[in-house]
Chains A and B, each alone.
Chain A
Amino acid sequence: MKLKGVLSTAIAIASGLLVLAGYFFAHSSGGGTSLLAEIQVILLNWAVILAGFAILIGIVNLFIVHLGKIRGKKKGSAYSLLLMLALITTFLFGLVSPAHVGIVFTTIQLPVEASLMALLAVTLTYASIRLLRNRFNLFSVIFLITALLILLGTAPLPLLGDIPGISDWVRPFISHVIATSGARGILLGVALGTLITGLRILFGADRPYEGNK
Chain B
Amino acid sequence: MSTILELVGFGVVLLSAVLLLVLSILYRKKFPTFREIPAFTRLRLAVGRVVEDGSRLHISLGHGALTTPQSASALAGLDLLRRLAYLTSSGDQPPIASSGDPLLSILAQDTLHAAAKSSEQATFDLNAGRLPGLTPFSYAAGTIPIIHDENISANVLMGNFGAEAALLTDAAERQGTFMLAGSDNLTAQAVIYASAQEPLIGEEVFAAGAYVESNHIHAASLTVQDILRWLVIAAILIGSLLTLAGVL
Contacts and interface: CB of A to CB of B under 8 A. Distances in A.
The contact size tier of chain B is: 35 or more
A97 interface: no
Q: Classify the interface of chain B: helix, strand, loop or mixed.
A: helix
B170 A127 contact: yes
B69 interface: yes
Contact of B221 (A31, A55, A190, A196): A196
Contacts of B229: 188-189, 192
Contact of A195 (B16, B114, B126): B16
A131 B135 contact: no
Q: Classify the interface of chain A: helix, strand, loop or mixed.
A: helix
A134 B197 contact: yes
Contacts of A213: 82
A205 B210 CA distance: 12
Given A143-B194, A187-B186, A54 B106 contact: yes
Contacts of B142: 62
A23 B20 contact: no
A65 B218 CA distance: 35
Interface stretch (B7-15, B28-36, B44-52): B7-15
Contacts of B75: 197, 201, 206, 208
Given A58-B102, A62-B131, A26 B195 contact: no
A121 B161 CA distance: 17
B107 A194 contact: no
Contact of A119 (B130, B167, B194, B201): B167
15 contacts: A25-B2, A51-B65, A55-B102, A59-B131, A124-B163, A124-B191, A124-B195, A188-B232, A195-B228, A198-B72, A199-B221, A200-B20, A208-B79, A210-B114, A212-B115
Given A58-B105, A62-B130, A190-B205, 20 more contacts: A50-B103, A54-B103, A58-B131, A65-B130, A116-B137, A116-B141, A116-B167, A127-B170, A128-B194, A143-B194, A186-B201, A188-B229, A190-B202, A192-B228, A193-B72, A193-B184, A196-B221, A199-B16, A202-B17, A205-B218
